[in-house]
Amino acid sequence: MVDPMHFDRRVEVYEKYRPPYPDALWNRLRDLDLLLPGTRALELGAGSGQATVALVDAGLSVTAVEPGPNLAGRLLERLPQVTVLAGTAEEAELPEAGFDLAVAATSVHWLNLEIVLPKLHRALAPGGSFAVWRTAFGNPAVRTPFRERTGQIVGRRRGAPARPGPDELDTAGWVKELTADGLFAEASTDTFAWSIELGADQIHGLFSTFSNWSAGEVEEAAQAVRTLGGYVTEHYVTPLIVLKRVSTP
């Protein structure tokens, strides 16, 4: 079974090997006036602070919800100015109209939206926004020898459980899920394609953070990099969905 607590057991590896989100994403959020200094932001599933650091650097006042106790502890250690709520988004006690922006960075697929969306609607002030994004580690539009190898690894799996929710690149599917109850409306969608060069050790570290990859599969992926010359260029995609809170009677 895919384990959402997989990450909490790999705090240092997760922090070291997960690549940052692309600059284009942060530039787009600035263009949408979502990163204005003083903005009250709520981040769901903050991990060790991969996105939180950028939010704080932009001058936002951040409250972060993180269910993993080790990750929550590391987040508070890195960013003591952040209010950290240890627990799930479903359990968190949130003030009514206490935030201007909510963020789910690579976490929306773990959320029970039937519970979380009404909570967010109450927690966001009128006119508030909900920004959802994640990185797909592998751009299906770009074929490389390394991606052919990883495709073979994944193809050998039998009955592997899928993550909850639509596919990571099914932006329309995610918009449908996030707006189905009428509490939020689509404001904008964007997709950012980018690339990064990674060595065998970096691939091993990164792939070990994926909750649906076994240790043997991770080592096989790293060995593929070694046979391909020691480094590979990875092509990734980061979709961004921005929703607006809908006023209700």
pLDDT digit string, tens, across residues 135-157? 999 999 999 999 999 999 998 88
Read off the tokens for 188: 């904008």
Report how many helices (DSSP H) and strands (DSSP E) the chain contains, helices first: 9, 7
Looking up tokens 């269910």 gives 67
Closest CA to 136 of 22, 11, 1, 16: 22
For residue 3, pLDDT beyond 60:
no
Provide CB contacts within 8 A for 15, sequence distance 6+: 48, 49, 50, 74
Read off the tokens for 85: 């709520």
Fold of 4-136+165-194+237-245: Rossmann fold (3.40.50)
Q: How distant is the alpha carbon of residue 246 from its chain centre?
A: 24
In this predicted model, which residue has the larger pLDDT, 87 or 11?
Answer: 87
User: What values do phi and psi take at 134, rounded to 5?
Assistant: -160, 160
Q: How far apart are the first and last CA of the chain?
A: 42
Instruction: Give the per-residue pLDDT at 1.
Output: 40
The mean per-residue pLDDT over the stretch 182-198 comes to 97
- Count how many residues are written for the chain: 249
Provide CB contacts within 8 A for 185, sequence distance 6+: 179, 243, 244, 246
Please give the mean pLDDT across all residues of the chain: 92
Amino acid letter at 19? Answer: P
pLDDT tens digits along 23-58: 999 999 999 999 999 999 999 999 889 999 999 999
